[in-house]
Structure 1
């Protein structure tokens, strides 16, 4: 199947006919949302489907179409960030309605997605939320960070999470967390849904990305296999290239096979490229990434791919190994991919080019560090930023001499930069909150003064407490907020004539 084309074809965002709303027949309010899979089946959350005995399913994008009753065909209840899926069957089929395309893809970080839910007050019109995918939470659920629009909240459960690029449904919303304005939510991806409800395989396109040659083997553990499994699972370490040569390929195949059955995080794609052209390999990558490609897949890879973990076995047995390295490997490295390149011949002519690609991965990471450290220095050249700048200079000098000595140091340095960025962001948050609170306090004081309470002793005590809380070092935002709110409340009492003391 061509990436970007589902069974129902492309459809404009916001007009997807597969969107449904679930109610309890005869009662007000909305239970949640769902995804139409064909003329008579709907996917939703188990906790939504089990919330009422008499379910009514409404076609949101087709106003005027009467609601249909529905019953549960299969379901798996939620438990410890797992499950929470249900398949429904409509009493009244909906022929002619464009169903969703469920797609199993590499769940790359920062992929842009959207969903429509029906929160309180917006049950009839619905609300759109845009998010970016983040990491896994527990064994199956995937975190989503709010990116704009309405926050995911009660009323979004069961909503299809659609890829912004092609409209394919990547999962359904299962939970949310909105305390203190955080705006986090979680979805269960299609692959996990299919594991719970194998019947859904008839509606799913895409696959787990692992070639049968890796899975159909009696795999065994040893120290090298464990080391390779560890490397495949360290997505947080960032882009890198690992070369595996000769007999070591047997250990690589064992590592992939064991990861594919859940022993550790599996690669997004593991393919044997013997005899394949660069375009054929690119097509597998584009398809697994869920990217839109209306022309050459190789051109689409060159344009950039999500940061994926990809195992390419038999590079030297491909139709054109050099083209594979230059036209697929190089742009993927630039996009932050983690690539394992397998060579069957230790004397292969293109091993030198592969080693150069591994060096390029190190240089790319260092260049990215330069931009991040420079941003820290430009904003506030404190001790932490200065130490990072000096450390980065030392890493770049070492890489110019022997990049292999630097490669293993990159993940630790990346974490150090991330820690400094988070601390800087936390300080900015405190400063911003304090600025808002000082503004509120100044407003309260001005209101009191304008009403003739400038010399009020009680208000003065509240004002001094609030200023003390705001000027404390270190400041406690909760205490400062409480002090400002107490001052505001005291001013309101004075202005309304109560508690004139």
Structure 2
């Protein structure tokens, strides 16, 4: 049989039984460890049997028990918890554990879920889409309207299927676990029957620290950025910068925001307090430009060949990547924060990487550590100015559309002329910022009260 038994499927999918009854699914995360949902264990004495369903008998079942202190039922919050870590006896070295992987953005992700409903002892696969957050969980909606995440899907792995990968090597990476299913009490509207929920790996790792060391890939946010010690005791977060960051994170205003925040300052505290609003946060201090490009590409987790094309683009060594899969836009527009480009090993080259990143539609926060330097002007010119220009063009198009069919002078003509002439200004970035403010005011006036 070798090191790994031949699996018909992903190999890590488990079927949980107690007394001959199927309780749900599980995820093999190590030869002697499995994840499942806490509610799948309801009504049992903790003695379970785990079947390695995808091996068709080539791997014998294991006994399973919850590890002490590792059952986290739903907490006081309506959508949190519901995980359990199981110990397997004997461990099965021939079975393939799941590749666990964080991703920066769940909304819109295409996923594949394998559970064990009553009508299919060998299991059933369901394709679904991650719709959006639901407390600490995320809502799942099956692509096929007749499919339901019913009993038997509890504890199932939620695997990344962004490129319609079904099974072959390498197996799809697991992003989370199904924690709820539809309970048909006869009173639930039909449309609600289609939804389920998953708990993402990040939250599982917080609830079960043993799982954290098994998750592959770098953390989406550099830990060093969160470990801020105020330069002066009693320093509070800068309220003005905090408000700007909140607006930017919510999608208001231009996609690129530049800010200076010396380490340990009130502005730095405002920056770190808002890190939970970004999908990726990197500390560029001391980094070479190639290292920064690689770190960004690694955290965005684009499937191949898009990942390599994306990294080459960031390094300035390739054409603009066509980030589409069979006509479907890949989920790139995330919020990224990069701190310390001015203290990088190659500061100007680091700005080049950030310029390329912003050109792909990412909302980008650039935090510089040294205020009052010429590097700030260079960052404005190289990174902020192109993004502002594109943002202003979009606003001009919106004004043109709103003025269509109206009588009187056209504001769009004057604004478009100002946009065309901004390069001739002494401070093009200041001109573009003011123009964007005026265009937003034009749009608000033309749209009227809402």
1:243 to 2:272 alignment: no
CA contact (8 A) 1:239 1:338 kept: no
> What's the counterpart of residue 327 of structure 2?
none
Q: Size of the alignment, in residue pairs? A: 390
Task: Show the 5 A alignment for 1:415-430.
Answer: none
Cα separation, partners in 2 of 1:407 and 1:109, compared to 1, 3 Å: farther
* C-alpha displacement of 1:334: 2.4
- 1:75 aligns with one of 45, 53, 71: 71
Cα separation, partners in 2 of 1:413 and 1:116, compared to 1, 3 Å: farther
- 1:38 aligns with one of 30, 42, 50: 30
| TM-score normalized by the length of structure 1 | 0.65
* C-alpha displacement of 1:72: 0.8
Distance 1:48 1:313 in 2: 43
Query: Which consecutive unaligned segments of at least 5 residues does structure 2 have?
Result: 163-169, 183-187, 315-319, 324-330, 423-430
Task: Show the 5 A alignment for 1:183-262.
Answer: 183-205=194-216, 206-218=218-230, 220-231=236-247, 233-234=249-250, 236-237=251-252, 240-245=255-260, 247=262, 250-259=265-274
CA contact (8 A) 1:298 1:328 kept: no
| TM-score normalized by the length of structure 2 | 0.72
Distance 1:155 1:311 in 2: 40
Comparing 166-175 and 39-48, the one that deviates more: 166-175
> What's the counterpart of residue 122 of structure 2?
124
* C-alpha displacement of 1:318: 2.5
CA contact (8 A) 1:249 1:342 kept: no
1:161 to 2:158 alignment: yes
CA contact (8 A) 1:395 1:406 kept: no
CA contact (8 A) 1:103 1:169 kept: yes
CA contact (8 A) 2:36 2:85 kept: yes
- 1:102 aligns with one of 89, 100, 103: 100
Specify the SS of the correspondent of 2:373.
coil
Distance 1:145 1:391 in 2: 45
Distance 2:289 2:178 in 1: 37
Distance 1:124 1:371 in 2: 55
* Root mean square deviation of aligned Cα: 4.2
* C-alpha displacement of 1:233: 4.3
- 1:299 aligns with one of 312, 317, 327: 312
Select the structure that is richer in helix.
Answer: 1
Task: Show the 5 A alignment for 1:309-388.
Answer: 309-342=335-368, 344-349=370-375, 351-355=377-381, 357-365=383-391
**1:466-492 Cα deviation digits (max 9, x unpaired):** xxxxxxxxxxxxxxxxxxxxxxxxxxx
* C-alpha displacement of 1:108: 4.4
Distance 2:436 2:53 in 1: 52
> What's the counterpart of residue 177 of structure 2?
172
**1:234-280 Cα deviation digits (max 9, x unpaired):** 2x5487111113659834421243345xxxx3422333313312221
Distance 1:195 1:373 in 2: 47
CA contact (8 A) 1:214 1:254 kept: no
Cα separation, partners in 2 of 1:313 and 1:361, compared to 1, 3 Å: same
* C-alpha displacement of 1:391: 11
1:62 to 2:55 alignment: yes
CA contact (8 A) 1:256 1:270 kept: no
Distance 1:124 1:392 in 2: 65
Cα separation, partners in 2 of 1:202 and 1:349, compared to 1, 3 Å: closer
**1:168-211 Cα deviation digits (max 9, x unpaired):** 21111112568433533321111111111112123123324134
Query: Which consecutive unaligned segments of at least 5 residues does structure 1 have?
Result: 1-7, 378-382, 421-501
CA contact (8 A) 2:222 2:282 kept: yes
> What's the counterpart of residue 110 of structure 2?
112
Cα separation, partners in 2 of 1:114 and 1:364, compared to 1, 3 Å: farther
**1:85-120 Cα deviation digits (max 9, x unpaired):** 100112232112111122233224323222212234
Cα separation, partners in 2 of 1:332 and 1:229, compared to 1, 3 Å: closer
- 1:48 aligns with one of 40, 45, 50: 40
1:274 to 2:270 alignment: no
**1:42-89 Cα deviation digits (max 9, x unpaired):** 001110123433422111211113332211111110131110110011
* C-alpha displacement of 1:286: 2.1
Structure having the higher Rg: 1
Cα separation, partners in 2 of 1:77 and 1:246, compared to 1, 3 Å: closer
